Amino acid sequence: MRYLLIDRILFLQRHQKISALKNVALSEDVFADHFMGFPVMPGALMIEAAAQAGTALLEVSLDYKKKAILVMVERAKFRAMVTPGDQLQITGTMLSLDDSLARVGIEARVGEKLVMDGRLAMGLREPDQFYPPESMHVVKSVYECWLRHAELVDFD
C-alpha cells in the first residue's frame, strides 16, 4: 500500500473495537492542491484512514487469515473540516461479521469534536488473492509497527 494513513493504533480489542491516530501534516502532498491557501483534508482520505483502521481491526482479529477490502461506505457524514496540525482519532466498532462480510461503525474526532461518522462494509477474502505468501511478512510488519505501543485486549 502506498498511502498508509494511520500513524499508530492506540487500542485494539479483538472482534470488538479499534482506536487509531492520524496526524495531519501540512507536508502531505494532498495539501498542495486541496485547497491552495486553505488546506483541508479530503473526505475521501478520512474514509481511507477509517478503512485502514477497520482493516486492521478485522485482519488482526482474524489472525491474518482474511484480507479485508472496503466494498461500501454507508451513511458517511462529514461534520467539520480537518486541517494540518489536527490529530484525527479514529474509532472503529465491529457491528457484524460473517465469512465474507463485516460491518464496522466508524467515528473520527479531533479532540472531543466529532468530524466524521458512518459505517463501512468490508469484504473478507483469502489473503493469497492479494499477497503472494512470501510477502505476508511485509504486511505483518506494518501491523507490528502500528501496534507497537497499543493497548491490546483479548490477545493470547
Q: Residue 104: inside a domain, yes or no?
A: yes
Q: Residue 124: inside a domain, yes or no?
A: yes
Q: Residue 58: inside a domain, yes or no?
A: yes
Q: Residue 1: inside a domain, yes or no?
A: no
pLDDT at res. 1: 47
**CATH number, residue 37:** 3.10.129.10
Write out the residue range of the structural domain in which residue 13 sits.
8-149
Residue 34 annotated among the catalytic residues of the structure: yes
Q: Residue 155: inside a domain, yes or no?
A: no
Q: Residue 156: inside a domain, yes or no?
A: no
Q: How many domains does the chain have?
A: 1
Q: How far is it, in rounded angstroms, from Cα 62 to Cα 59?
A: 5
| DSSP secondary structure code for residue 35 in this structure | T
Q: Residue 101: inside a domain, yes or no?
A: yes
Of 8-17, 114-123, 130-139, 143-152, least confident by mean pLDDT is 130-139
Residue tagged active-site, from 15, 34, 137, 149: 34
Q: Residue 111: inside a domain, yes or no?
A: yes
pLDDT in tens, 88-133: 999 999 999 999 999 999 999 999 999 999 999 999 999 999 989 8
pLDDT in tens, 30-87: 999 999 899 999 999 999 999 999 999 999 999 999 999 999 999 999 999 999 999 9
